Amino acid sequence: MAEVLVLVDHVEGEIKKVSYELLTAARALGEPAAVVVGPAGTAGKLSDGLKAHGAAKIYVAETDSTDFLSPEVSVLESLIGSVNPAAVLIGVSADGKEIAGRVAVRTNSALLGDVVGVSGGDAVGVTHSVFGGAYIAEAKANTEHPVITVRPGSVEIEPVDGAGVEESVQVGAASGRSAAVTSREPITGGDRPELTEASVVVSGGRGVGSADDFALVEGLADSLGAAVGASRAAVDSGYYPHQFQVGQTGKTVSPQLYIALGISGAIQHRAGMQTSKTIIAVNKDAEAPIFEIADFGVVGDLFKVAPQLKDEIAKRKS
Amino acid sequence: MNIVVLVKQVPDTYSERKLSDSDHTLDRDATDAVLDEINERAVEAALQLKEANGGEVTVVTIGPDRATDAIRKALSMGADKAVHLSDEAIHGSCAVQTAKALAKVISTAVGAPGEGFDLVLAGNEASDGRAGAVPAMVADVLGLPALTHAREITVSGSSVSVKRETDDGVTHLTAELPAVVSVGEKINEPRYPSFKGIMAAKKKPVTTLSLADAGIDASEVGIANALTSVTSSQPKPPKSAGEKIEDEGDAGAKIAAFLVSQKLI
Ligand SMILES: Cc1cc2nc3c(=O)[nH]c(=O)nc-3n(C[C@H](O)[C@H](O)[C@H](O)COP(=O)(O)OP(=O)(O)OC[C@H]3O[C@@H](n4cnc5c(N)ncnc54)[C@H](O)[C@@H]3O)c2cc1C
Ligand SMILES: Nc1ncnc2c1ncn2[C@@H]1O[C@H](COP(=O)(O)O)[C@@H](O)[C@H]1O
């Protein structure tokens, strides 16, 4: 059975959940082989998790190069040459998309970006959710070893034991010039679940009114074990940091439950959340477009409704 | 310093976007087209660098005839000239084909890296496809470093540094010129074209290329040769509105009851 390369996404010795989703998705196409690129010692911390999620092989490329993304690109390029994989799977993120594009253009492989499902067969097939979920499209690769970026949260993880045989890979010299990383300031996630991984998201918009009042959104989110999101207007007004923006130019989320507080529901916001299973909206304007897609809408003041909801949830939990 | 700005015309996100029934590509006639919002910021960044360092700003686009509107917008903001690859055969090209074609157009119409230009600026992600990979791919084909998602750009002497801002944090990158830089939506506020700028844009040179002019073989582009094919597309029925209530002092409790009934808590 052909190997399917899965680029492992990790920060500071911890695997991101999307990598396990990719290992699950890979099984539809062949035998999952994890690819770990990072400083010396990285693979040791990750291998148990990778084995427990079905990695038959673990390619280990340890390097302390400061070249930006080029080690990942050249390792995948050389593995495509040596093992002719059925596909290369990479999680959707800014870095993931860039690595995927560069690998595809170098190896003349199909680039299937931002997919929500993969399938095997004569040709590798994928499912896209486009224009913020307004369309579902099926696409296929016309080349060998397509490079596919998969949206986090779109595959249900199914753990299964894998042999996890480690094999070390040399990081070849970069072809072409690379940018160098001079320093990094990673965002530390805090205690809440990651936005794209959370099963419940509570978002606030301009209606929340201030950065201080976002504590209300956070409080409700914490009572539900939820991630916090924000509209672009809330981000642009400085109420909440940019990485929490939901929408066309922010994150795409598709949780079981999405609660929108003081968000009008502009088309660009909806593009990032309208595939949520259940949507609840609180807005004092009865005409707000968010109500068009809300399963349960409340025309009212979020400063009255949200605290009461939080209390009710606390009551039911105790 | 000579700068190339890659611009793309996209459907206006305020209008409804559709996929065509026949070949599942973007139905461009069904929607208004505009210069991509982030591309306006790439043009603005180029103009600011030109104002500080001198040189020329050349706008490059691949797209249908009506993409000239996007070009005019960039020229009226202050870019000096434009190159437009417009050819029926390009319709439906995939990202890999587009990146290779852009690299060719830049090399043939603007010149080699370091000779024709020092910097290529692009948007980090266009609002239509969310591919978000074209700038890095163009850089890879040209053998140039890619400094993407810039929130700040600093050029000093022969090197360029950016503060790269993404959801995962901030990374500081540096490289020697020539290089490719893509900008994020927070980099600047694009200027409005002045009346003078709009008038001047009418006289600025726009070179329109066919595939042959750009030295691209028809087999390297187009839907029939694309490395990926869309096999079907279907609109998803829009979510319909459910229950809507007016708060009478008990809406929080009612939401909680709804969540219980849906087994969500
Ligand atoms: C190219 C482009 C990309 C974009 N990308 C995004 C994106 O990714 N994400 C995004 O969100 N937007 C995006 N936008 C912006 C989008 O068009 C809207 O401007 C934005 O979503 C509005 O945010 P909002 O709903 O918080 O603010 P507003 O539209 O101002 O709505 C605030 C709402 O709060 C309600 N309200 C006020 N006070 C209260 C109260 N006390 N209780 C209850 N309700 C109250 C009001 O009735 C109102 O409906 C984009 C725009 C463009 C052009
Ligand atoms: N057809 C094109 N013509 C010119 N520039 C393009 C084209 N496609 C993509 N780009 C550039 O690449 C950026 C990112 O686009 P994309 O990768 O399609 O999301 C855009 O903001 C443009 O700067």
B30-80 confidence digits (pLDDT tens): 567 778 888 999 999 999 999 999 999 999 999 988 888 899 999 999 999
Residue A189: per-residue pLDDT = 66
Of B56, B215, B157, B139, the C-alpha closest to A176 is B139
The whole-chain average pLDDT of chain B stands at 91
* CA A251 / ligand 1 centre spacing (Å): 15
- The token pair at B164 is 């790269």
Residue A154: per-residue pLDDT = 86
| A200-317: CATH topology | Rossmann fold (3.40.50)
Q: Do B168 and A176 touch (CB under 8 A)?
A: no
* CA A293 / ligand 1 centre spacing (Å): 15
Of A10, A12, A1, A65, the C-alpha closest to A34 is A10
Q: Do A111 and B94 touch (CB under 8 A)?
A: yes
| Residues A39, A16 contacting (CB under 8 angstroms) | no
Residues 265-284 of A with CB under 8 A from B: 267-268, 271, 274, 278-280, 282
How far is residue A311 from each of residues A39, A315, B198, measured CA to CA in Å? 47, 6, 58
Q: Whose CA is nearest to atom 26 of ligand 1?
A: A205
Q: Is residue A265 marked as binding?
A: yes
Residue A40: per-residue pLDDT = 92
Residue A175: per-residue pLDDT = 76
| Helical axes B251-261 vs A302-317, angle rounded to 10° | 50
Q: How far apart are the C-alpha atoms of B206 and B202, rounded to whole Å?
A: 10
Residues 32-61 of A with CB under 8 A from B: none
Q: How far apart are the C-alpha atoms of A18 and A150, rounded to whole Å?
A: 8
| Residues A101, A108 contacting (CB under 8 angstroms) | no
pLDDT in tens, A85-141: 999 999 999 999 999 999 999 999 999 999 999 999 888 999 988 877 788 999 999
Residue B129: per-residue pLDDT = 62
CATH topology identical between A3-168 and A200-317 = yes
Nearest to A101 among B136, B244, B256 (CB): B136
Of B259, B255, B265, B248, the C-alpha closest to A309 is B255
- Mean pLDDT, range A179-197, rounded to an integer: 86
pLDDT in tens, B253-265: 999 999 999 999 8
> How many CA atoms, within 13 angstroms, populate the side-chain half-sphere of residue A108?
4
Q: Do A298 and B147 touch (CB under 8 A)?
A: no
Query: Is the per-residue pLDDT at B128 higher than 90?
Result: no
Q: Do A291 and B265 touch (CB under 8 A)?
A: no
Q: Is residue A247 marked as binding?
A: yes
| B3-225: CATH topology | Rossmann fold (3.40.50)
Query: Is the per-residue pLDDT at B16 higher than 70?
Result: no
The whole-chain average pLDDT of chain A stands at 94
> Is any ligand 2 atom within 6 A of the Cβ of residue B190?
no
Residue A11: per-residue pLDDT = 87
DSSP codes of every residue in B46-104? HHHHHHHH---EEEEEES-GGGHHHHHHHHHHT--EEEEE--GGGTT--HHHHHHHHHH
pLDDT in tens, A191-245: 898 898 889 999 999 999 999 999 999 999 999 999 999 999 999 999 999 889 9
The C-alpha of B68 sits at a distance from chain A's nearest C-alpha, in angstroms, of 24
Residue B14: per-residue pLDDT = 66
Q: How far apart are the C-alpha atoms of B243 and A107, rounded to whole Å?
A: 52
**Please, which residues bridge with residue A101 across strands?**
none
- The token pair at A59 is 């390619």
Q: Do A312 and B255 touch (CB under 8 A)?
A: yes
Which residue, among A105, A145, A261, A274, would best test binding to B if mutated, counting the most B CBs under 10 Å from its CB?
A105
Q: Whose CA is nearest to atom 8 of ligand 2?
A: B8
Residue A33: per-residue pLDDT = 98
Least confident span in A295-299, A312-316, B138-142: A312-316
Q: Phi and psi at residue A185, in whole multiples of 5°?
A: -125, 85
Q: Do B133 and A293 touch (CB under 8 A)?
A: no
- The token pair at B252 is 């929080």
CATH 3.40.605.10 correct for A3-168: no
Task: Label residue B17 by pLDDT band (50, 70, 90).
Answer: confident
- Write down the domain spans for chain A: 3-168, 200-317
Nearest to A179 among B17, B175, B250 (CB): B175
Cβ atoms < 10 Å from Cβ of B30: 13
> Nearest bound ligand to CA B6?
2
Strands B228-235, A135-141: parallel, antiparallel or unpaired by DSSP? antiparallel
Task: Label residue A12 by pLDDT band (50, 70, 90).
Answer: confident
The C-alpha of B93 sits at a distance from chain A's nearest C-alpha, in angstroms, of 12
> Is any ligand 2 atom within 6 A of the Cβ of residue B39?
yes
* CA A284 / ligand 2 centre spacing (Å): 39
**Please, which residues bridge with residue B244 across strands?**
A297
A66 touches chain B (CB under 8 A): no
Residue A30: per-residue pLDDT = 96
Query: Is the per-residue pLDDT at B19 higher than 90?
Result: no
pLDDT in tens, A254-278: 899 999 999 999 999 999 999 899 9
> Is any ligand 2 atom within 6 A of the Cβ of residue B181?
no
| Residues A68, A99 contacting (CB under 8 angstroms) | no
> Nearest bound ligand to CA B138?
2
Query: Is the per-residue pLDDT at A167 higher than 60?
Result: yes
The C-alpha of A298 sits at a distance from chain B's nearest C-alpha, in angstroms, of 5
> Nearest bound ligand to CA B181?
2
Q: Do B239 and A311 touch (CB under 8 A)?
A: no
Query: Is the per-residue pLDDT at B4 higher than 90?
Result: yes
Instruction: Indicate the burial class of B223 (C-beta count within 10 angstroms; 0-12, 13-18, 19 or more).
Output: middle
Residues in contact with B190: Cβ distance below 8 Å, sequence separation at least 6, in sequence order = B40, B41, B43, B44, B77
- Mean pLDDT, range A143-156, rounded to an integer: 92
Q: Is residue A256 marked as binding?
A: no
Residue B30: per-residue pLDDT = 59
| Residues B149, B182 contacting (CB under 8 angstroms) | yes
DSSP codes of every residue in chain B? --EEEE--EEE-TTSPP-B-TTT-SB-GGGS-EEE-HHHHHHHHHHHHHHHHH---EEEEEES-GGGHHHHHHHHHHT--EEEEE--GGGTT--HHHHHHHHHHHIIIII-SBTTTBSEEEEES--TTT----HHHHHHHHHT--EEEEEEEEEEETTEEEEEEEETTEEEEEEEESSEEEEE-TTS--PPPPPHHHHHHHTTS-EEEE-TTTTT--GGGSSGGG-SEEEEEEEEPPPPPP-EEEE-SS-HHHHHHHHHHHTT--
Q: How far apart are the C-alpha atoms of B180 and B149, rounded to whole Å?
A: 11
